[in-house]
Amino acid sequence: MAEIATAAPQRVARRPRLRGASALLGTVPFFAYVTIFLVIPTLVVVIGAFAADAGGFTLANVRSLGDEYIVAAFGRSITLSAASALIGAVFGALLAYALVTAKTGGLLRRVVTAACGVLAQFGGVTLAFAFLATIGLSGFLTLWLTEHGFDPYANGVWLFELPGLTLVYTYFQIPLMVIVFLPALDGIRPQWREATESLGGTTWQYWTRVAGPLLAPAFLGATLLLFANAFSAYATAAALVSQGSPIVPLQIRGALTSEVVLGQANLGKAMALGMVIVVAVVMTLYSLLQKRTARWLG
């Protein structure tokens, strides 16, 4: 009986869908716009990666991704993203845990979460200049340290290389980790700790046997998200590094702005495709882990 009662009104409500042809007209502007400015650019990258300069299919662009300097750039990009993701994940998780132990709905937690929301978006040129003002060659901290007999750049200026980029990226990775990881930590119930204790478990056992395994997929997933975030970042590195192209996004800048080497006009597109593939793989793993997390901490 109940089934009939719910089925009947649904059919009435569904009828307008069948007269959909004229209704489709209403979505034409949206789909036309997205086609021109999103779908076509994506296809340009994908098809261009396999197109020869004079037209026609070629694997030359993709094959030249194996060139030494491009492989090195991908390697450095991955190192930078992995390092900044790991540092960001560890410190972000610590900060998130510190927030969870604070009073729920308290001022501290509200202020820090709001600040993290802002700082996670904070990247690009302004972030680069913030660090130039801090530990640039005439930065506040550099001058102070040099005055007190410690030259941070005694062994060369590392700010414009991978260690410096990692440090700068950490500045937006930690807040992002807090935002992504906080919901998982909130899903941990105090009862689980009480249950562990009433069964005679120690704090160490609680973290390694109960909370650790529960949080592991969430932590790993968040780290992957941070990796993708750092891997796609361009503006910060572009503003900091003006000489050379250590990482892939800067290699693509080089391919876009410099005089095109004969026969390599589409190399930039091949590198772009490589980036998309790395990000897609990482994001797929992320969504798989996300599902695993939802089982216990959703």
Partner 1 sequence: MAGLVVRRARRQRAFRWAVLVVLGTFFVFPLIAMIEFSTRDSQTWPLLADWPRLSETYPDLAAGIVASLGQAALTSLLMLVLLVPTAIWVRLRLPRLRRIVEFLCLLPLTIPAIVLVVGLAPVYAWVNYFLGGSSLTLVFAYTILVLPYAYRAIDAGLSSIDVRTLAEAARSLGASWTTVIWRVVLPNIRSAVLSAAFLTVALVLGEFTIASLLHRTNLQVAIDYLGKSSATMSVAVSLAALLLAFALLLLLSLFGNRSARESR
- Residue 127 CB, nearest approach to partner 1 (Å): 8
| Contacts of partner 1 in 128-167 (CB under 8 A) | 129-134, 138-141
Q: Indicate which single residue of 79, 126, 208, 258 sits in contact with partner 1 (rule: CB under 8 A).
A: 126
Cα distance between residue 52 and residue 60, in whole Å: 8
Cα distance between residue 218 and residue 165, in whole Å: 26
Q: Is 118 a binder of partner 1 (CB under 8 A)?
A: yes
Q: Is 13 a binder of partner 1 (CB under 8 A)?
A: yes
- Residue 182 CB, nearest approach to partner 1 (Å): 14
Q: Indicate which single residue of 59, 71, 72, 102 sits in contact with partner 1 (rule: CB under 8 A).
A: 102
- Residue 234 CB, nearest approach to partner 1 (Å): 4
123 burial type by CB count under 10 A (0-12 exposed, 13-18 middle, 19+ buried): buried
Q: Indicate which single residue of 6, 10, 101, 243 sits in contact with partner 1 (rule: CB under 8 A).
A: 101
Return the range that interacts with partner 1 (CB under 8 A); candidates 53-61, 102-110, 156-164, 211-219: 102-110
Asked if 184 and 253 count as a contact pair (C-beta separation under 8 A), the reply is no
Six token digits for residue 54: 């004079």
How many C-alpha atoms does 101 have within 13 Å on its Cβ side? Answer: 5
| Contacts of partner 1 in 191-220 (CB under 8 A) | 197
| Contacts of partner 1 in 218-237 (CB under 8 A) | 231-235
- Residue 19 CB, nearest approach to partner 1 (Å): 9
Closest Cα partner for 241 from 258, 253, 227?
253
Six token digits for residue 55: 């037209």
Q: Is 83 a binder of partner 1 (CB under 8 A)?
A: no
- Which of 253, 292 has the CB closer to partner 1? 253
- Residue 265 CB, nearest approach to partner 1 (Å): 11
Q: How many residues bind partner 1 (CB under 8 A)?
A: 78
- Which of 1, 261 has the CB closer to partner 1? 261
Q: Is 283 a binder of partner 1 (CB under 8 A)?
A: yes
Question: In which residue are the tokens 């490589």 written?
Answer: 274
- Which of 172, 295 has the CB closer to partner 1? 172
Q: Is 44 a binder of partner 1 (CB under 8 A)?
A: yes
